[in-house]
Amino acid sequence: MAMERPTYRELERRWKALRASRDVRIREVACVGAPRTLLCAELGDPSRPLITIAAGVHGDEPAGALALLALVEDDALDPRFAYRLWPCTNPSGYEAGTRASAEGTDINRTFGRGGGSPEARAIVTANRDYKFALALDLHEDDEAEGFYCYAYGDEGIGDAALAAVRASGAPCDPQGCLRPDPHLEAESIGGLSLSLLLRRNAAARTLTFESPARLELAERIAMHATAVRAACSQTTVK
């Protein structure tokens, strides 16, 4: 039987439940100008290099958000790092199953100029003083045949993540690891994505993972979890 995705409320409840069992620090960050908050989760030894992972900016792409939750619930993140996680950066879109937020905004085009949507502004403001050893954003693509990624300054991490997905028996898309020019990319999509913003000012290595939405949800969640673990394990600590 196909897996059903949990509601946003259920997702939130499961993250908050981790406070007790996993030493995860969870905050709700207000989205000024919209009636909602974003979850921000921190875990790991704060003296370690920091990795940030975000998911769910497109509400009709649930696998990344569910993979991130599963990785923390299963205590499967590499302990060499501390983590700053954004479990679902578009709660109203997730709830409605739509790419855009309730206001009709594609949030992942609004990370320029301090944030052009309530969600982007909340993230930009809360992330202001942070630098990351690695930044990941988890997406899905309804046209892809298999898993692929976009990478900026990744030092081979994208290829390693795809190799790990392939080794798990899941399909990778022929386009593999794409490395577009960040400036041209911002122009062609018509705004700054979270990955492009982080690449610009906070993270030397930035990747966007894309799972193929045509596959079963459970399979897509497993692909993201595999890719995230491979990317973290390939990240060198300087």
Rule CB under 5 A: which residues touch Zn ion?
Answer: 58, 61, 139
Task: Pick between residue 109 and residue 139 the one whose CB is nearest to Zn ion.
Answer: 139
The crossing angle, in degrees rounded to 10, of helices 194-201 and 182-189 is 150
18 vs 221, beta carbon nearer Zn ion: 221
| CB of residue 90 to Zn ion, shortest distance in Å | 10
Determine the straight-line distance between the first and last CA of the chain, rounded to whole angstroms.
Answer: 45
Mind giving me the DSSP string for 165-203? Answer: HHHTT--EEEEEEE---HHHHHHHHTSB-HHHHHHHHTB
Rounded to an integer, what distance in angstroms lies between the CA atom of residue 13 and that of residue 150?
Answer: 31
Distance of closest approach, residue 25 Cβ to Zn ion, in angstroms: 27
Please return the burial class of 232, using the count of CB atoms within 10 Å of its CB with bins 0-12, 13-18 and 19+.
buried
Alpha carbon 109 to chain centroid, angstroms: 15
* Partners of 37 in the β-ladder: 30
Crossing angle for the helix pair 118-126 and 194-201, to the nearest 10 degrees: 30
CB of 61 to Zn ion, least distance (A): 5
Comparison of 61 and 119: residue with beta carbon closer to Zn ion: 61
Structural contact between residues 65 and 39, judged by C-beta atoms closer than 8 angstroms: no
**Cβ proximity to Zn ion, 211 vs 226, nearer residue:** 211
CB nearer Zn ion, residue 139 or residue 205: 139
Q: Which is nearer to Zn ion, 24 or 144 (CB)?
A: 144
Instruction: Label residue 48 exposed, middle or buried (CB < 10 Å: 0-12, 13-18, 19+).
Output: middle
Smallest gap from Cβ 108 to Zn ion, in A, equals 6
CB of 58 to Zn ion, least distance (A): 4
As given in the structure block, the two tokens for residue 100 are: 């855009």
Grouping H, G, I as helix, E, B as strand and the rest as coil, residue 147 is strand
In the complex, least distance from residue 106 CB atom to Zn ion, rounded to whole angstroms: 9
- Report in angstroms how near the CB of residue 56 gets to Zn ion at its nearest: 9
